Amino acid sequence: MAEKLALVYARVSTNRQADTGHSLDSQRNLLVKKAEQEGYQVELVLEEGSGRKLNRPKLNEALERLDKGEVQALLVIDIDRLARSTIDALQIAERAKRKGWRLIIHSLDIDTESPAGRTMLAMLATFAQFESDLISERVKRQHQARRDRGLTWGVDEGFKGNLNPRTRSLIVKERAKGKSLRAIASTLEAKGLETPRGGKWHAATIRAVLNSPQSKVLVRG
């Protein structure tokens, strides 16, 4: 019978390296002990970097191995070591359920194989949705307050995008002439003009530019 293998994932931010409460050593020791108690052979996955970054190569590689069935369990010390937010952590938990591997979050006593752990995840999902709803309502109030003051987000305040103003003006003018989105995209490609994020121009990209607050201001003008 093949031995069960668990990945112990420990991460520390560079500016917290000296914090013993979040050090790699403290995470590793607690998680290895837990994994061995559960009957797993242990493989360490140690990563340094901010939890806010989407691209964490070692975690991504670990998740791929779990999905393929090469490893049976993933252990982490806390949600903030695993994901940027509770919602992101819940998505990983759902991935574990769908792919058939085990997730253990030590500090919260969450285990996707236990009834208590699944109940805790359900509670976290409820609170995460509640938090998301509160944030959404707050953003709506902020936008309404700006509108009441005659301000437009993305024009008078906030991020105004990466698109060259001359390119935006050209798009608006070409659309006003009755040109299709695809035709405008072809024109911009022929001129060698850059998209907001790089890459090729597509009809969907043109539509997004035209629907932006900055472009709508030009149309009204």
- Whether the pLDDT of residue 21 is over 60: the answer is no
User: In terms of pLDDT, which residue wins out, 46 or 17?
Assistant: 46
Paired tokens of 113? 């194989």
* Residues 35 and 73 sit within 8 Å (Cβ to Cβ): yes
Paired tokens of 56? 């964490």
pLDDT band at residue 109, thresholds of 50, 70 and 90?
confident
Tens digits of per-residue pLDDT, 155-186? 555 555 678 888 988 999 999 999 999 999 99
pLDDT band at residue 51, thresholds of 50, 70 and 90?
low
Output b/e per residue, 140-156; b: 16+ Cβ within 10 A.
eeeeeeeeeeeeeeeee
Mean pLDDT of all residues in 29-35: 91
Tens digits of per-residue pLDDT, 60-79? 999 999 999 999 999 999 88
pLDDT band at residue 16, thresholds of 50, 70 and 90?
very low
Mean pLDDT of all residues in 78-102: 88
- What pTM does this model have? 0.58
